[in-house]
Amino acid sequence: MPRIAGVDIPDNKKIYYAIQYIHGIGPKFAADILAEAQITPDIKARELDDHQVAALNSLIDTGYVVEGALRRQVGQNIQRLRDIRCYRGERHKRGLPTRGQRTKCNARTRKGRKKTVAGKKGIKG
């Protein structure tokens, strides 16, 4: 298994898809990196030689924010929003959608599983 940017990538996939397993690299960046390193996107990851792996590592390390640094940066951005008490920061604190989606129905991804609240029983009297 080749190790690129500190991540074990699957060696039975084409390199174009394999480097997308690195957090922060999607289809566009994968294509850009392979074009810059002059590597054919159709070859399998296990067919890379040491020179090509080193080229990919150096390109990703110098030009892209990936993995732990990216996660830390995103976390700091969210923490900044919370600290300045802006609307988006408040939504992050409460675990609600931050981009204007409706919450009366749906929004289960952010809100979590349903919490059933017992209804008021009919009071006889």
Q: CA-CA distances (angstroms) from residue 83 to 62, 74, 116, 120?
A: 31, 14, 32, 38
Residues 59 and 72 in one domain: no
Alpha-carbon separation of residue 25 from 18, 50, 86, 122 (angstroms): 10, 21, 30, 57
Q: Are residues 40 and 84 in the same domain?
A: no
What's the chain's average pLDDT? 91
pLDDT at 23 over 90: yes
> Where in the sequence is the domain holding 105, given as residue range(s)?
68-111
Q: What is the pLDDT of residues 51-110, one digit of tens each?
A: 999 999 999 999 999 999 999 999 999 999 999 999 999 999 999 999 999 998 889 999
Nearest to 22 by CA among 51, 59, 47: 59
In total, how many domains does the chain have? 2
Q: What is the pLDDT of residues 39-52, one digit of tens each?
A: 999 999 999 999 99
Residue 123 lies in a domain: no
- For residue 49, the domain's CATH number is 1.10.8.50
Question: 29 with 75, same domain?
Answer: no
Cα–Cα–Cα angle for 63, 46, 5, nearest 5°?
Answer: 25
Residue 4's pLDDT is 86
> Does a structural domain hold residue 10?
yes
The answer to whether residues 24 and 39 belong to one domain is yes
Residue 119 falls within a domain, yes or no? no
Q: Is the predicted pLDDT of residue 123 greater than 90, yes or no?
A: no
Would you state the structure tokens that stand for residue 46, as one six-digit string? 């296990």
- pTM, 2 dp: 0.79
pLDDT recorded at residue 75: 96
Residue 77 lies in a domain: yes
